[in-house]
């Protein structure tokens, strides 16, 4: 096995390719290949004890490890790029990989091994596993569990306010809006405002199972509120409610709810926000 760590350490010390080749007893072509691949992959010192020559070889040249198994190598860079495209999944890419193997009369990896090797590639390269989320594909929505309040200017009464949150999982861009109620009208209005804020609708909408949007959601049956269904049809999106008691089905908006609950709701706990009387066209600004 090549002395990968020695080659890279000597390069960082500023030695020439000729000197590195002579010191490690390798050709200049091989040394250049290792250094160029390390630069491409962003691998640089200092090197941990776990980063052995074998680890570095698998990191820089994963295809060599796969070729030694006698099976057709997987182009991980291609797989990672394709997964960023709409509707492309690992199942589809594995199917295409199998077709390529049949054409070249090579032995393919099973789907489970295909996924395992890709996961190892993504983890080693510190890349995000592009399996579920793609730009513009999903919008997750929910009401924050915590509430806040505003003060009616005329009566001094505290009025409870509910916080609607919408999040795009790929970018983690979020939209939050305060509402005086959680009824169907407020639910639809907040969705409209969120889509307006994001500049467009998404292919999939993942809400919770509140009765304002979802009438019934079981393993056998999904019934949406008619108005909510009509809204989704208007925007050309598909409503896929999270499973009951399964917050991981919409983890992005759950995370956004936590941030908003702390940095907006809790941060304003000692402030007084007065409700403007829109019926009288009150032009006075709302002072905390």
Within a domain: residue 285? Answer: no
Instruction: Provide the CATH number for the domain around residue 148.
Output: 3.30.420.10
pLDDT for the residue 14: 79
Co-location of 164 and 271 in the same domain: yes
- For residue 134, which phi and psi values (nearest 5 degrees)? -135, 155
Which structural domain range is residue 100 located in?
A: 4-124
Does 152 share its domain with 253?
yes
Lowest model confidence (mean pLDDT) among 96-100, 133-137, 211-215, 270-274 = 270-274
Which of 124, 147, 172 terminates a domain? The answer is 124
The domain boundary residue, chosen from 78, 99, 124: 124
Q: What is the pLDDT of residue 82?
A: 85
Q: What is the mean pLDDT of residues 263-287?
A: 59
The secondary structure of 221-235 as a DSSP string is -EEE-HHHHHHHHHH
Per the model's pLDDT, the better-predicted residue between 243 and 240 turns out to be 240
Regarding whether 275 and 145 lie in a shared domain, the answer is yes
DSSP at 263: I
CB-based contacts of 252, cutoff 8 Å, min separation 6: 133, 140, 167, 168, 169, 172
Domain tally for the chain? 2
Mean pLDDT of 268-285: 55
Summarize pLDDT for 88-121 with one digit per residue, the tens: 788 888 999 999 888 888 888 888 888 888 887 7
Report the b/e string of 234-272 with b at 16+ CB within 10 A. Answer: ebebebebbeeeeeeebebbbbbbeebbeebbeeeeeee
Give first-to-last CA distance, the chain, whole Å. Answer: 68
């Amino acid at each position: 096995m090549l002395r990968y760590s020695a080659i890279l350490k000597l390069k960082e010390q500023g030695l020439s390719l000729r000197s590195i080749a002579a010191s490690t007893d390798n050709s200049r072509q091989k040394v250049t290949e290792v250094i160029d691949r390390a630069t491409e992959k962003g691998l640089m010192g200092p090197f941990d004890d776990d980063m052995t020559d074998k680890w570095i070889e698998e990191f820089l040249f994963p295809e060599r490890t796969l070729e030694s198994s006698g099976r057709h190598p997987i182009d991980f860079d291609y797989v990672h790029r394709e997964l960023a495209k709409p509707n492309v999944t690992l199942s589809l890419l594995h199917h295409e990989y199998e077709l390529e193997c049949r054409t070249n009369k090579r032995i393919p990896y099973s789907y489970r091994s295909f996924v395992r090797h890709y996961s190892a590639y993504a983890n080693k390269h510190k890349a995000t596993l592009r399996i579920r989320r793609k730009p513009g594909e999903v919008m997750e929505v929910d009401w924050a569990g915590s509430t806040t309040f505003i003060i009616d200017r005329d009566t001094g009464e505290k009025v409870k306010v509910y916080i609607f949150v919408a999040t795009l999982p790929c970018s983690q861009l979020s939209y939050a809006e305060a509402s005086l109620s959680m009824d169907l009208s407020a639910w639809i209005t907040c969705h409209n405002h969120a889509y307006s804020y994001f500049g467009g609708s998404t292919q999939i909408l993942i809400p919770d199972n509140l009765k304002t949007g979802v009438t019934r959601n079981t393993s056998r049956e999904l019934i949406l509120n008619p108005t909510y269904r009509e809204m989704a049809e208007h925007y050309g999106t598909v409503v896929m409610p999270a499973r009951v008691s399964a917050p991981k089905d919409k983890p992005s908006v759950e995370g956004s709810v936590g941030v908003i609950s702390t940095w907006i709701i809790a941060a304003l706990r000692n402030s007084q926000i007065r409700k403007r009387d829109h019926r009288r066209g009150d032009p006075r600004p709302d002072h905390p």
